[in-house]
Chains A and B, each alone.
Chain A
Amino acid sequence: MSEPVKPNPTSKYLRTERLPSIWCPGCGIGTTVNCFTRALDGSGFDLDKVAIVSGIGCTGRVAGYLNLDSFHTTHGRAIPFATGLQMANPDLKVVVYSGDGDLSAIGGNHLIHAARRNVDMLVVCVNNFTYGMTGGQVTPTTFQTAVASTTPYGAYEETFNLPRLVDSCGGVYVARWTSYHVKQLAKSMGEALNKKGFRFIEILSPCPTLYLRRNKLGEGLDEMKFYKEKSVIKNGASTTETDLDYRKEIVVGTFVNRERPTNVEAMEARMSEVLGAKYVPYESPGKKPAWA
């Protein structure tokens, strides 16, 4: 094969030796990773100082493909792992990248509490409305009447509106995009990367193998067309107006962008106030490399 005319700009952010990925054709996760690499590209960050943490599932595999310090943790526990990592090494920019089941079902408790504490991390949630890796079971975001392998007669429970959930818990940056909105998503990821505190981006994304096919919704490309037709950008919209319904309008945009002290800032302020000169602030091991 001849050399490509121009190297793929995402290549330097990927562990190309690990490709091809495990993701199915038409899956949206890879597209979101592409957007993430573009956001990193524009961030000017020292990539040695960016750490990515994933839970378990299809999106949980993102950590393994990014050429960053990466941690593929246990199911649902990416956020508390990332909390420890960030608090122990505040010189790192910590990003959690995982799916709707991992973050909002098994990991839901950590999601709400990390938002409440305002832990300094960006959480990227790829919402494909199903547990892809285990065969397409129902998740807290599966729409009513959509078929999943554990709701063969159609889902019937109420769903989470994730932006509304995280907003109500205190997240400082909350956005929703779809894997169709590559430009907006990359820009939003860039904004979020540059912000402090608990930031949350939900990305609606097709799972052609287990969600679309089972619900006779076509291929990945059909879902992209659907996202294009049904999405309405409403930046600054109240998250109370962003509920999703099966095959109805999709409100996307950056809904929340505010400032609030992080858990560590609040802790340091409190300790300084109470202990005064007796307070010994934590010394980050990230100040110099262990090999230096």
Chain B
Amino acid sequence: MSNANPSGTLTGSHYLDGDHACSEGAIAAGCRFASGYPITPSTEVVERLSARFPRVGGRFIQLEDELGASIALLGAVWGGAKACTVTSGPGFSLMMEHIGYAAITETPCVYINVQRAGPSTGLPTQPAQGDMMQARFGSHGDYRLIALCPNSPQECFDLTVEAFNLAEEFRVPVLVMLDEVVGHMTEKVVIPPAEQIKVSERRYTKKKPGEGFKLFEAANGSMVPEMVKAGDGYRIHVTGLTHDDRGYPAMNVPTHEKMQLRLQDKIVENADRIVRWEEKDLDGADVVVVSFGITSRVAERAIKAAREQGVKVGSFRLITAWPFPEKQIAELSKKVKAFVVPELNLGQMALEVERVVAGRTKVVPVPHVGGTVHNPETILNKILESVR
């Protein structure tokens, strides 16, 4: 880890919306290339980057569609830049192919998705959290990635920095999953001095060309290969086909199995290093509200009201949706009477909670079609019902 570059970092106290906070997080993390295509409610991220980049040595390009936007950043990464793109709704669907391409080519990169209500054009541009399963499974085939869910503009800044760091550490696409409310709400955002912002630089190999470097070989016992950039003399080959350690296509089951299992295991077996959550009042809790993004802010009020009525209710806020905090939820499921899972969709992360809880205790989804946030009373009633 090194410190953020002071020349780009907007140290100070600001009032920013979540989208703009993401832009500043990207700049502080060292991102100097962004590609985009307009779509509400996420465009503000690249609007700000297009204004800020020329003043901090970055380059932005608005492509002709999300298909282009979602791969231009990958070209930039292989050219040696840190890069991101941003989208919402239908744009996220269009980007799925390249999220898979980024996963199989182990390209460290960041996709920011400000969720709006779908499917299709849906309810533009009002909030939802309906892309959570798409974030995990949206591209074809098996792969793993990391998805972070900020619940405030401050966290949009913090987690965007984190997203770039995790991308470099694990050579994986990282998704920052906002929802429209978090993207458009304005709050105080404190950007620390650059020396207090920890940044993971690209993990370039120390091997010189000709010293046997392999682009897809697990390195230093970590399951994560090291990187190079184009132009440095390695004559690399990068392909979306199943490939061996050198990156050469190999159409056979053993190569596919080795590649696929490493892509999975580098995330699954490192989950303890990746998984992030925030917990509150879990000691002695009978009910735990599992929530994320804007819904966690709404749930706070319901939790407070329930506690005032004497219910022992705690909060478990997902910061990483993927990988899911399996261990932590499984452990809690042995102690509590119920999980209440409010989310702005018809039941997505609730499925994951149910899977992990595996029938040990009750899971009460609090679905919502999106378009607005929950009424806290709806969540409160589910909390009260769950302990009846």
| A→B interface (CB under 8 Å) | 15, 18, 48-49, 51, 53, 63-64, 67-74, 76-77, 79-89, 91-92, 109-110, 113, 263-264, 267, 271, 275, 278-286, 289-291
Contact = CB atoms under 8 A, between A and B. Distances in A.
A109 to B, nearest CB: 5
7 contacts: A48-B232, A77-B68, A77-B98, A80-B75, A81-B74, A88-B59, A89-B80
B26 interface: no
Contacts of B77: 84, 88
Given A68-B235, A73-B74, A88-B83, 17 more contacts: A51-B231, A64-B249, A69-B230, A69-B236, A80-B69, A82-B75, A84-B61, A88-B79, A89-B80, A89-B231, A109-B65, A113-B64, A267-B59, A278-B55, A286-B229, A290-B232, A291-B209
A279 B51 CA distance: 11
Nearest to A89: B79
Contact of A282 (B59, B228, B229): B59
A72 B241 contact: yes
Interface string B297-311: 000000000000000
Contacts of A51: 230-231
Cβ-closest 5 pairs across A and B: A285-B80, A84-B75, A89-B79, A88-B79, A84-B72
Contacts of A74: 71, 97-98, 101, 240
Contacts of B71: 73-74, 77, 80-81, 84
B208 A84 contact: no
Given A18-B248, A73-B101, A285-B81, A84 B54 contact: no
Contacts of A69: 230-231, 234-236
Among B61, B209, B230, chain A packs the most CB atoms within 10 A around the CB of: B230
B167 to A, nearest CB: 15
B54 A279 contact: yes
Interface string B325-362: 00000000000000000000000000000000000000
B111 interface: no
A92 B57 contact: no
Most-contacted residue by chain A among B75, B78, B204 (CB, 10 A)? B75
Given A18-B248, A278-B55, A84 B76 contact: yes
Contacts of A85: 75-76, 78-79, 230
Interface string B25-69: 000000011010000000000000000001111110101110111
Nearest to B233: A48
A77 B74 CA distance: 11
A48 to B, nearest CB: 4
Nearest to B75: A84
A84 B239 contact: no
Nearest to A70: B237
Contacts of B206: 291
A267 B59 CA distance: 9
Contact of B74 (A84, A113, A281): A84
B234 to A, nearest CB: 7
Interface residues of B, number: 55
Nearest to A110: B68
B231 A286 contact: yes
Nearest to A263: B61
A241 to B, nearest CB: 29
Contacts of A278: 55
A289 to B, nearest CB: 4
Contacts of A71: 75, 78, 230, 237-239
Given A88-B81, A279-B55, A285 B238 contact: no
B230 A275 contact: no
B205 interface: yes
Contacts of B228: 290
Nearest to A112: B64
B175 interface: no
Nearest to A77: B71
A87 B33 contact: yes
Contact of B231 (A18, A67, A72, A92): A92
B202 A291 contact: no
A72 B238 contact: yes
A72 B63 contact: no
Contact of A80 (B54, B67, B80, B248): B67
A282 B238 CA distance: 25
B239 A72 contact: yes
Nearest to A76: B67
B204 to A, nearest CB: 4
A206 to B, nearest CB: 25
B32 A282 contact: yes
Contact of A290 (B33, B59, B80, B81): B80
A49 B239 CA distance: 19
A76 B67 CA distance: 9
B313 interface: no
Contacts of A76: 67
Contacts of A73: 71, 74, 101, 240
Contacts of B204: 290-291
Contacts of B61: 83-84, 87, 263
B73 interface: yes
A143 to B, nearest CB: 28
Contact of B80 (A49, A263, A271, A286): A286
Interface in B138-186: none
B165 to A, nearest CB: 18
B207 interface: yes
A77 B232 contact: no
A291 B205 contact: yes
A92 B230 contact: yes
A289 B68 CA distance: 28
A205 B240 CA distance: 26
A167 B271 CA distance: 52
Contact of A84 (B55, B79, B232): B79
Contacts of A290: 80, 202, 204-205, 228-229, 232
Contacts of A113: 63-64, 68
Nearest to A119: B61
Contacts of A281: 57
A92 B78 CA distance: 11
A271 B54 contact: yes
